[in-house]
Structure 1
């Protein structure tokens, strides 16, 4: 049997630790912090997609762009509340839709610059989000 089909104990341990650390972060996070974690995951995935395009790794590119779009659609857009968020929620939805469009183009054209454009845009939004100090209401 080939040893290539097995991962090393340290690799499995590191992977398990990462899953536990992520789950712990999620379990103890406020709604505000959860959005911050989504931004972090999105930016990480965008970075991986950009590197994959530059290396010519089509499989990883597709996986990471797909993951980025899912975070935008199922995480960030889905969390918007137009009634409570008003114009800000509408504007963020526009940013997310634009980002999805640009990522689709990046995937079709193998264009890392388009992924970089989205990354820069999301970094700006993420930094602004993380600078907000949410006021916690009692029993919230």
Structure 2
């Protein structure tokens, strides 16, 4: 790994280690949306290996987000149901090589991402 790549990796690590819980959630949502968009693009291009990789990473992020929910928050059950739906749909889109199902996930994730960003900004200010 060259010096520039090591510096980038170190910066990413420092960003994560120093981030607030709200910032961590927004970082996860940003990456989730990116993975799903890349997965869809790869599916549409017929690059099944890349699509698989992107969509599996997206599934891991959804599992992490779901696992971070606590039962003491009133919205946990509803959000967990959304995450369960996303996880099932991402798996189906990947196995079925279906970019339309992947697009459905993207369309569900984007407003959630925006809402989390808004909440993080509201609590920071």
**TM-score, scaled to structure 1:** 0.80
Residue 68 of structure 2 corresponds to residue 79 of structure 1: yes
Deviations 1:21-69 (A, max 9, x none): 2212112210011011110111111111111101111111111111010
Cα distance change of structure 1 residues 24 and 111 upon mapping to structure 2, 3 Å threshold: same
Structure 1 residues 85-124: aligned runs within 5 Å: 85-86=73-74, 88-124=75-111
Give deviations 1:61-101, integer Å, cap 9, x for gaps. 1111110101101x201110112x12x11111011111111
Q: Which has the higher contact order (CA 8 A, sep 6+)?
A: 2
Separation (CA, whole Å) in 2 of partners of 1:119 and 1:14: 32
Q: Would the alpha carbon gap of residues 22 and 102 (structure 1) be closer, same or farther in structure 2, given more than 3 Å must change?
A: same
Identify the residue that residue 40 of structure 2 maps to in structure 1.
50
Task: Return 5+ residue gaps in structure 2 as ranges.
Answer: none
**Distance between the aligned counterparts of 2:107 and 2:8, measured in 1?**
26
Structure 1: unaligned runs, 5 residues or longer: 1-8
Shift of 1:16: 2.9
Greater Cα radius of gyration, structure 1 or 2 = 1
Counterparts of residues 34-73 of structure 1 (less than 5 Å): 34-73=24-63
Q: Aligned partners of 1:129 and 1:114: how far apart in 2? A: 23
Q: Please provide the CA RMSD for this pair.
A: 1.8
Number of residue pairs aligned between Structure 1 and Structure 2:
123
SS at structure 2 position matched to 1:82? coil
What is the TM-score with the length of structure 2 in the denominator? 0.89
